[in-house]
Amino acid sequence: MDSARPYDTEVEKVIVVGGAGPSDSLPQFDFESPGLVNGTSDPPPLDLKVGRTHRFRLINMNPDWRVIFSLASDSALARWRPVAKDGADLPLSRQGARPAWLLTGPGEAADFEFTPRVGGISGSR
């Protein structure tokens, strides 16, 4: 997110995924912890404006989980453009549009630009 221009909450979205607490790492329980997205287990949907370019900063704060981020319609993955990795801008040669799916490891962050052409796109983790 460019420091030369002010942060715009309409189009810039920070999504932080983390564990729900110490029980996430206890092997004696046989359940899948939901984790937290931006501090809650039930995050509200993102309000994305059709035709406007949005920038997502996706952050995996889990100490030992890999997390998948994705954007999809009912039938297929959307497409997004990677623009930064761990706070550093990517070279233009690595910013080509691709399917909106990302596997992250602990502590990883990545920024993507996405322009919805139609409504009904949803994200998952």
> With contact defined as beta carbons under 8 Å apart, do 79 and 116 qualify?
no
User: What are the domain boundaries of the chain?
Assistant: 12-124
Name the amino acid, one letter, at 80: W
DSSP, res 4: T
Residues above pLDDT 90, as percent of the chain:
51
Hey, what are 116's tokens? 């919805």
pTM score of the predicted model: 0.80
Q: Given 3.30.70.980, 3.40.50.150, 3.30.360.10, 2.60.40.420, which CATH number is that of 12-124?
A: 2.60.40.420
Q: What is the mean pLDDT of the chain?
A: 84
Average pLDDT (75-97) is 94
Q: Helix, strand or coil for residue 5?
A: coil
Q: Which residue has the tokens 């110490």?
A: 22
24 — pLDDT class (breaks 50, 70, 90) = low
